[in-house]
Amino acid sequence: HVDPAIGAADDARRALTYRPGAALARRIRLRDGTCRHPGCTVSADNCDIDHCRPFDHADPQRGGHTTECNLMCLCRRHHRFKTFSGWIYDLAPDGTLVVVTPDGSTMLTRPSGPLAAYRREQARAEQDAWDVQQARNPEPDTADGDLLSEPTYWARRAARHRAERARADRSGPDRANPDGTRPPIGRWWDRNKPVVGRAEEQVHQLLDEILHPPPF
48-89 per-position pLDDT tens digit: 999 999 999 999 898 899 999 999 999 999 999 999 998 999
Do the domain assignments include residue 4? no
Whether 159 and 107 share a structural domain: no
C-alpha 42: how far from its chain's center?
37
| Whole-prediction pTM | 0.60
Do the domain assignments include residue 112? yes
Do the domain assignments include residue 73? yes
Whether 158 and 113 share a structural domain: no
Do the domain assignments include residue 35? yes
Whether 55 and 99 share a structural domain: yes
Whether 26 and 106 share a structural domain: yes
| Domain tally, the chain | 2
Q: Looking at the predicted structure, is the pLDDT value of residue 174 above 80?
A: no
Do the domain assignments include residue 47? yes
